[in-house]
Structure 1
Amino acid sequence: MMDGVNRLARKVPTWVVYLLGLVPLGYLIWGAVAGGLGPDPVKAIEHALGERGLQFLLASLAVTPLRRLGLNLVRFRRALGLLAFLYVALHLTAWVWLDMGLRFGEMATDLTKRPYIIAGMVGFVVMLPLAATSWNGAIRRMGAVAWNRLHRLAYVAILAGVLHLSLLVKVWTVETLVYVALALGLLAVRLVPKAGRARPAGV
């Protein structure tokens, strides 16, 4: 069965992933135009964009564990990562422009006083070099070892993302707990086996 799924995945063009990844954005824009985002559309836009960014980041980190289980989606990892960056960048833009109204003085104050904003900004900043080097030329110029080392910043990004969400919500919901559990689980699956293999024999 897994072989059949892998064969089907190999036939799917990467642009299909990008196209499907933009569907939630189109739906959100349609909701904003139609006035269907509830009494506080700005917060609804912020929340939806941030949540999609977190979901795509989790999806990109899930590629390696899924490959160990026999499902090879590596060719889609770049698309998932770039979609995550797009939604996180739009989430930040919505906060800066729609929510704060470009009041940079207030934003600077929030960046020093509100832990959830600090965590969110850390997540965005570490995603910048990931997005900037998500092309084949960057791998050739940096070398595979340096490129892989840099892209471990994705671990920092997902931790910052779930911390941002956890600090933002006033009441821990099942949804929040699921996101935190998924993030910690994916990090454990990716990092713990590596630590085990690096341990000297007999230790």
Structure 2
Amino acid sequence: MIDLLNAAARKVPSWVLYIVAALYPTFLFYQGLTGGLGVDPVKAMEHEMGRKGLQVLILTLSITPLRRYLGVNFMKFRRATGLIAFFYIGLHLLVWLVLDVQIPSEIWADILKRPYVTIGMVGFIVLLPLAITSNNWSVRRLGRNWHVLHKLTYVAIVLGAVHFLMLAKGFQYEPIIYLVVVAFLLALRLIPRRRLVRA
């Protein structure tokens, strides 16, 4: 089964993911225009793009453990999924800025006064240099420093999960599950490779 998955993955070019990823926000926008997102389509679109961005970021974080523990090799898609996550999170931020808050003074006030907005904004800022350097030229230019820089992904995903948890009203299972999954995926990276070989 794993061999079949890996063989199928090798046949799929990474650019296909970008096309598929663009369909979701297009569909959401269409839903918003046609009344399919309820009484507050802006909020619905904002939340959905943020949720989907976090989901794809978690998917990106799971690619290395999948190869390391199960032998499922989706490494060729890791850059694409990371950029797609940034794209979704950027749209989440854009909807909040342009369609929701709109007034610059209120945007700055929200960033300063609302902790979940502050954390979300810091998470986006952390992701920004990672997206900018997600290309072959940057890999060659930065050398070993590229890998060090991209470890900030761990910081960004924790901030994203905490942002979602703080944003939730009342007790909700979904943001807690996301936070637990993120903690689990990060914990897997703490297991020494030599211990895995002996096991």
TM-score by length of 1: 0.92
User: Equivalents in 2 of 1:14, 1:99: separation in Å?
Assistant: 33
Partner residue, 1:154: 153
Partner residue, 1:76: 77
Q: What stretches of structure 1 of length at least 5 have no aligned partner? A: 198-203
User: Equivalents in 2 of 1:178, 1:18: separation in Å?
Assistant: 27
Is 1:91 paired with 2:92? yes
Partner residue, 1:193: 191
User: Equivalents in 2 of 1:34, 1:110: separation in Å?
Assistant: 30
Partner residue, 2:132: 132
- 1:2-23 CA distances to partner (integer Å, 9 max, x unpaired)? 1111011000111111122222
User: Equivalents in 2 of 1:2, 1:41: separation in Å?
Assistant: 41
- 1:126-169 CA distances to partner (integer Å, 9 max, x unpaired)? 000000000011010000x2100000110011011011111111
Equivalences for residues 168-183 of structure 1 within 5 A: 168-183=167-182
What is the Cα deviation at residue 173 of structure 1? Answer: 1.5
Is 1:50 paired with 2:44? no
Partner residue, 1:200: none
Partner residue, 2:121: 121
Q: Which moved more, 1:21-30 or 1:73-82?
A: 21-30
User: Equivalents in 1 of 2:90, 2:29: separation in Å?
Assistant: 16
Partner residue, 2:197: none
Partner SS, residue 170 of structure 1: coil
What is the Cα deviation at residue 180 of structure 1? Answer: 1.0
Partner SS, residue 36 of structure 1: coil
User: Equivalents in 2 of 1:88, 1:162: separation in Å?
Assistant: 12
Q: What stretches of structure 2 of length at least 5 have no aligned partner? A: 195-199
Partner residue, 1:28: 28
State the Cα RMSD in Å: 1.2
Q: How many residues align?
A: 193
User: Equivalents in 1 of 2:5, 2:162: separation in Å?
Assistant: 34
What is the Cα deviation at residue 83 of structure 1? Answer: 0.4
What is the Cα deviation at residue 193 of structure 1? Answer: 1.7
Moved over 4 A (4+): none
Taking only the aligned residue pairs, the percentage that are identical comes to: 48
User: Equivalents in 2 of 1:172, 1:118: separation in Å?
Assistant: 21
User: Equivalents in 2 of 1:108, 1:174: separation in Å?
Assistant: 30
- 1:58-100 CA distances to partner (integer Å, 9 max, x unpaired)? 0111100001110000000011000000011111111111111
What is the Cα deviation at residue 111 of structure 1? Answer: 1.2
Partner SS, residue 175 of structure 1: helix
